Chain A
Amino acid sequence: EAGVAQSPRYKIIEKRQSVAFWCNPISGHATLYWYQQILGQGPKLLIQFQNNGVVDDSQLPKDRFSAERLKGVDSTLKIQPAKLEDSAVYLCASSIDRNTEAFFGQGTRLTVV
């Protein structure tokens, strides 16, 4: 079974630039999560999708972050414009449904300079 795929693995951008991350969940997984993991901290949920609908985006900085999940499969997370404090690892995870184990991808390490 293929795991959660994320790209790119690494990205370096200057502040005020924009960036996008892509996630392909495990086939058949209805629930998709984006987490932000700042160095030295545990991951924090940014947004949760159930199929292509948003379930929880209460911690997403909506003035600069956006996410979509077209057709309930792949998802993209965008930051525009980026700030220095956005430097972090962005983890995507998926699960079959809301009650089952979440499987994580390898994340994208973003550095904003």
Chain B
Amino acid sequence: AQTVTQSQPEMSVQEAETVTLSCTYDTSESDYYLFWYKQPPSRQMILVIRQEAYKQQNATENRFSVNFQKAAKSFSLKISDSQLGDAAMYFCAYRSVANFGNEKLTFGTGTRLTIIP
């Protein structure tokens, strides 16, 4: 079974600065997807960024980028120019490439990000 570990329960960053959230995972599969989700107080999980394991290029979405190290099974999220609206819980998640019945997301325990004005 796959596991996802987020070792930073809480992080804080000054507004406009850069912060990196860590995630490691364990799997025996060679092809899979990795995600970062944001969960604000409204509780709705919002997809921030997605990485396909077979792609060597790190995914980027505006101010959000990842550092995907497949051999090290590491998948960190970098948020540049942090904004007050970035404050939320961030969850790292793993998903197998869809074999029927194996598409569930496996989540880490989350990192609470606080933005300091």
Q: Which chain B residues (75-114) contact chain A, with CB distance < 8 Å? A: 91, 93, 97-98, 100-105, 107-110
The verdict on A99 contacting B98 (CB below 8 Å), with A31-B103, A33-B104 known, is yes
* A5-B109 Cα distance, complex, nearest whole Å: 25
B100 & A91 in contact (Cβ 8 Å cutoff): no
The verdict on A55 contacting B4 (CB below 8 Å), with A42-B110, A43-B45, A93-B45 known, is no
B43 & A109 in contact (Cβ 8 Å cutoff): yes
Q: Distance in Å from the Cβ of A23 to the closest Cβ of chain B?
A: 13
A1 within 8 A of B: no
Total number of A residues with any Cβ neighbor in B under 8 Å? 26
B100 & A55 in contact (Cβ 8 Å cutoff): yes
The range of chain B's interface size is 20 to 34
Q: Distance in Å from the Cβ of A100 to the closest Cβ of chain B?
A: 9
B47 within 8 A of A: yes
* A73-B66 Cα distance, complex, nearest whole Å: 35
> Which of chain A's residues has its CB closest to B46's CB?
A104
Interface residues of chain A, those whose CB is within 8 Å of chain B, are 3, 31, 33, 35, 40-45, 48, 55-56, 89, 91, 93, 98-99, 101-107, 109
